[in-house]
Structure 1
């Protein structure tokens, strides 16, 4: 069955402060964000009617925009409310929410400081990125593209342009029969997958690369806190590529991926173990708590 095109769906999209029919949420072909990647976005999930860590996502959206040199023309409270209302108007309780902010078509030049900043929010039903059987473990190829140095790209932002090499890497990995790709950083050390952070279990401890050259993901931080709450030592450090061969467990963490076990990276094979299975369960329980319960647990 062919997927439903994203430009031909029923529903409503919040677009510059108003709700418009899904099919009418359009932009001009000379939009600056399309030509020069002057856009930032978020990926959020709602469970049982609550958007998980909504304010953290909104804060990152605003910070990403500032890193790229523009201000979002709404308050954080307005964006939070718009995300919730977009989900409600589309009759969703289990949903993926995508806010995006970008420069418009008033100017088409490299700088284009006179462009208007547009903001849109869409929501739709979207299951786990890797499908229902993800607990069997997914496979990762090795990407030929590397995450850039923070001296060469705004790597602390969730900027649309930074996803180009991830798109290329995932496409190549799928062509080779893998589900995704493991990316290295500019030094040749382990970074992340194309859209999710990577975790490795070494000798009963949870290790993850320092977020230098890629995002310190909200799900990443959540999983690290869950591990610590369950008396698992968490180590953030530089992980050399040759080390992954001795890991006993590997998994990815991200909003779209949630917590997903990895059974293979290139020629290295793994099996979901105690730590991975525990964190899958703990994360699944946490995201279905009410926002008040999440705050109480954090306290």
Structure 2
């Protein structure tokens, strides 16, 4: 039987069944907190520092003090991976406002709760990675950026969850969420790119898209491979007539889209640009980051 996972909780390592948070935690009560999803590939914690910088920037934006320095928390992330002995894994790092009385005032919470979970994740089957994903645009619109800046990766994902539910009801693998003005923003848990005439396009973050780590990785790879890239708004019409579409995210990784709202994308199969980007992404993820097992042979 697989041993129970270790969870980092406020400076201690506890078994999953013993890792408890109070029901008075403001993250539970109000979605008051921030998080990061991070991947481990062959023992390499992919772009860990970039994830940590984004976490601390999100926390600063919502006036949340993390009770560890960035370097200290980074070390705890790596140690949690080691304790769980997982060379391929998903990390969920959560910082909530902490315990407090009922009521919205965040100043009533004395200290943040910090949780690091390391486990397995798989959002899509291998068949979908091989053959491509069917997606739909959904009625739920993206939160307007001037209400909550999309660069804050907060614990409140209800907007995304509603979109995902609508995609599932439509029999699709993922949702594409539009802005209030009808522009494409992102998926429920991933960024989006399209290819037209060998040029990559991705929505600018000011429309409501998260500034994703995997998104930036694909931007970096595209530059190295010589593909022109434009961050500019586009619509459903543009997606319908794209040569290729792909989604990127820590959980989803990089996956091709072959149908949008019943319209085939390109030839209805993963295209050459997407395959090129995915191939280079697979090579990069095992070397760009921090090794959790530096003195051991990676499996």
TM over 0.5: yes
82-91 or 148-157, which moves further after superposition? 148-157
Q: 1:117 aligns with which of 112, 117, 139?
A: 112
Matching of residue 254 in structure 1 with residue 254 in structure 2: no
Distance 1:290 1:51 in 2: 8
Determine helix, strand or coil for the equivalent of 2:28. helix
Aligned partner of 2:180 in structure 1 is 186
Aligned partner of 1:296 in structure 2 is none
Cα displacement string for residues 14-66 of structure 1 (whole angstroms, at most 9, x for unaligned residues) = 00011011111111222211121101100000111110000110111111111
Matching of residue 51 in structure 1 with residue 45 in structure 2: yes
TM-score between both structures, scaled by the size of structure 2: 0.91
Aligned partner of 1:102 in structure 2 is 96
Distance 2:223 2:26 in 1: 43
TM-superposed deviation, 1:290? 5.3
Aligned partner of 2:275 in structure 1 is 277
Asked whether the 8 Å contact 2:46–2:290 carries over to 1, the reply is no
Asked whether the 8 Å contact 1:13–1:121 carries over to 2, the reply is yes
Aligned partner of 2:203 in structure 1 is 209
Determine helix, strand or coil for the equivalent of 1:42. strand
Aligned partner of 2:73 in structure 1 is 79
TM-superposed deviation, 1:71? 1.1
Alignment root-mean-square deviation, CA: 1.6
Distance 1:142 1:117 in 2: 37
Determine helix, strand or coil for the equivalent of 2:200. strand
Q: 2:58 aligns with which of 64, 82, 93?
A: 64
Asked whether the 8 Å contact 2:43–2:87 carries over to 1, the reply is yes
Q: 1:241 aligns with which of 230, 236, 242?
A: 236
Distance 1:237 1:63 in 2: 24
Distance 2:187 2:290 in 1: 32
Higher relative contact order (CA 8 A, sep 6+): 2
TM-superposed deviation, 1:186? 2.1
Q: How many residues align?
A: 284
Determine helix, strand or coil for the equivalent of 1:214. coil
Q: 1:264 aligns with which of 239, 249, 259?
A: 259
Cα displacement string for residues 152-193 of structure 1 (whole angstroms, at most 9, x for unaligned residues) = 1132200011x2111111112112210110001122101011
Q: 1:226 aligns with which of 221, 227, 230?
A: 221
Determine helix, strand or coil for the equivalent of 2:107. coil
Query: Structure 2: any 5+ residue segments left out of the alignment?
Result: 292-299
TM-superposed deviation, 1:125? 2.0
CA, structure 1 residues 29+292, in 2 after alignment: closer, same or farther (shift >3 Å)? closer
TM-score between both structures, scaled by the size of structure 1: 0.91
Distance 1:189 1:274 in 2: 26
Aligned partner of 1:160 in structure 2 is 155
Report matched runs for 1:4-23 at 5 Å: 10-23=4-17
CA, structure 1 residues 292+83, in 2 after alignment: closer, same or farther (shift >3 Å)? closer
Distance 1:106 1:226 in 2: 45
Aligned partner of 2:193 in structure 1 is 199
Aligned partner of 2:31 in structure 1 is 37
Distance 2:106 2:218 in 1: 39
Determine helix, strand or coil for the equivalent of 1:225. helix
Distance 1:17 1:241 in 2: 47
